[in-house]
Amino acid sequence: MAGNSYGTLYKVTTFGESHGEALGGIIDGCPSGIELDFEAIEVEMSRRKPGQSAIVTQRKEPDAVQFLSGIFEGKTTGTPIGFIIPNTNQKSDDYSHIKDNYRPSHADYVYDQKYGFRDYRGGGRSSARETASRVVAGAIAKQMLPQIKINAYVSSVGPIHLETPYQELDFSKIESNPVRCPDEKSAAIMEEYIRDIRKQGDTVGGVVSCVIQNVPVGLGEPVFDKLHAELGKAMLSINAVKGFEYGSGFSGSEMKGSEHNDLYNPDGTTKTNLSGGIQGGISNGMDIYFRVAFKPVATIMQTQDSLDNKGNITPMTGKGRHDPCVVPRAVPIVEAMAAIVLADFYLINKTY
């Protein structure tokens, strides 16, 4: 375990720093014969990238993916898919102010402690830019499993919550607004809130909900590699994530068994689905749904104290980029990681 791979049979390994030459990765284990829709991959990339709207950072990242192997005549060959995403914005001087400074609630300090020094440019490896590679791998995983529908959306921005159950939402509206909230009224309020936060030079957290449909019964490997345990790990590995719950989640902990149990229909489906589509760590064929909590981005445009590497506390003001609410951009990343987890289990559990 060196930390930069996920998966067993659908195995994704990524590399790349925020301001290095390029990001990229290797998808090992993708089955052969999949006719790739490269436009669909680009769509996912554009959903993740900064600068999509007024409420997200305006930094330009033309995330053009170059595939280097594992694809021949438009189809996957079964051999590893290597890809790179060149970084076009490598100006080191943008980040000279953090060279010797540890920004609060960033990974600067721990990287220096762990590795002795760090690529200080823009967060280096700990930058969320790293997730671009995940989106590529997830986009291909989605194409490997076209029958499975994965829809993530923003269900909270700061104190504003969308309480509507997912069953009553129209997922086709997720992309209709910059917040990626399928409920237009809530979306408008959230957007207004984010604009206000932006003016303050501040940031705010939020929650991404995700629904996975048409999953076959049987995915998951108890007792340690339960389906929801892997989903949880995958989500928690995304930058800024602080919590994961599936099915009834934390609110389920307040319930009684008589309320929480999902009674069966004769066909094996259940009348309710507080289980969240997973029982005993194995998919039961019902919708899988979960929620992922994101903290506010640490880089704010206000002045805050930072620590320099000589032990001095010095005030620092965020420069350049400002992403008041990263949560809308996290939507495709959540979907990507879900797709990767499912692809891996799909390969593992269709065996024999």
Q: Which residue ranges make up the annotated binding site for FMN?
A: 125-127, 239-240, 280, 295-299, 321
186 is a site residue for its own copies (CB under 8 A): no
Stretch that binds its own copies, among 36-44, 49-57, 171-179, 308-316 (CB under 8 A): 308-316
Beta pairing partners, 160:
157
11 is a site residue for its own copies (CB under 8 A): yes
9 is a site residue for its own copies (CB under 8 A): yes
178 is a site residue for its own copies (CB under 8 A): no
Give the list of residues 6+ apart from residue 69 with CB closer than 8 angstroms, or none. Answer: 79, 80, 81, 82
Task: Give the 3-state secondary structure of residue 75.
Answer: strand
Query: From the list 52, 90, 105, 213, which residue makes contact with its own copies (rule: CB under 8 A)?
Result: 105
- Give me the least distance between CB of 19 and its own copies, in Å please: 10
114 is a site residue for its own copies (CB under 8 A): yes
Q: Which residue ranges make up the annotated binding site for NADP(+)?
A: 48
Which C-beta is closer to its own copies: that of 63 or that of 230? 230
129 is a site residue for its own copies (CB under 8 A): no
32 is a site residue for its own copies (CB under 8 A): yes
The HSE-up count of residue 234 (CA atoms within 13 Å, CB side) is 30
Stretch that binds its own copies, among 56-64, 175-183, 184-192, 220-228 (CB under 8 A): 220-228
CB 286 within 8 A of CB 269: yes
* Tokens 């829709």, located at residue: 37
10 is a site residue for its own copies (CB under 8 A): yes
* Strand 66-67 versus strand 5-6 pairing type: unpaired
The footprint of its own copies on residues 53-82 (CB under 8 A) is: 66-70, 72, 75, 77-82
168 is a site residue for its own copies (CB under 8 A): no
The footprint of its own copies on residues 242-261 (CB under 8 A) is: 242-250, 252-261
Residue 43: other Cβ atoms inside 10 A: 13
- H or E segment to which residue 184 belongs: helix 184-199
Beta pairing partners, 118:
none
Tell which residue, 233, 230, 236, has the closest CA to residue 295: 236
* Tokens 């408008």, located at residue: 188
315 is a site residue for its own copies (CB under 8 A): no
Which C-beta is closer to its own copies: that of 51 or that of 252? 252
Give the list of residues 6+ apart from residue 93 with CB closer than 8 angstroms, or none. Answer: none
